[in-house]
Structure 1
């Protein structure tokens, strides 16, 4: 490697110090043991890499799936409590989610010429504020609708909850892992396929319907770049609008 590509020693020391601090904090504030915390940090490192790669390749970040995988890996060699299991899955999911968001933001910043240094600072501030706001939103949604209900089915949370108690059918899981590896080697987006399998039909069918509409629009328009930009704006508005509206409805339903 060239000298310019090497990671400075002080950065490596800082990363190790942060990891050690994280393990200690997890051991103090949760039921995760020191050894489980070390395995968790290793799992976060590996899955964060995969999360960034999949986000770049497909635009989809299956962060809760990575949480389940790390949880299963730790459960294979340790016996975490139920609370520790949920904590492990939550830490991995949040880390992978933040990784995917940062990758998208850095790509967007690169396209418009923003300095990465300022973006990282903004990401740090946004991460802290976002954690507080997200916690408030979850409390409101749980109090007004509840998770796992018809109003808020929360399929991702249900998948994590199902795995926290152990695998009911290890053979089926092994088949899924093997199929995922095969599809990945064949350069087929296995993560997208997996999402379609376990998400409720009305969600996956809506995704497929949106993809069909987008394909028709792109074929009809001559300017493909303009079609992509317009689709990104419309989809962002749909996602943001639904999320904001849902939280507002949940707040009003509490009174």
Structure 2
């Protein structure tokens, strides 16, 4: 197990972007006896309606079917992953009274019969989930027990790497655009200080504080100082 983890970690740490990293994860998933995988991440922004970013290597027919039928809203694995961070194995339900019976039947028709979902939580409350699936024979207890440690490890490492890659563009772009003074002022805003208090602490005029805050709000694409501070905290700009 230790040798396996070291080999796979080296593969996951190899230079490359989001697509390369996901391709490596997909290869490791197949090596563990599964056929396909999907990674979904609930981005930290916008706060009211967080964006859901998804990657997968499913056949195009299932990808289109999933999107056209808005299955993200009814997928039982997504619902369970959103409700708990506990990893879980699953298989298609045969119960005709199951509220998601139509979804399960459709998945079966696209050769998806079982899988394992691995929710995870990273810094800044970024939540994600790696799901591995296959068709044909369902998982039995013995196979699951043998694969469980590797799957748990892969779920955590994949989430860490993929979430990092997905967030890098937002964070780095915003961080590079901000001046040190703007960041300094936003830190005080985040602490609950008024513009007058910030001006006194930094020995500058309140007008200068307003000037830097307006610039920060424009760069962060928000409408007020509170939203600017919140966005900067979530993106790790004030760290």
Bigger-Rg structure (1/2): 2
Same fold flag (TM > 0.5): no
Larger helix fraction of residues: 1
Coarse TM-score class (shorter-chain normalised): under 0.3
Larger strand fraction of residues: 2
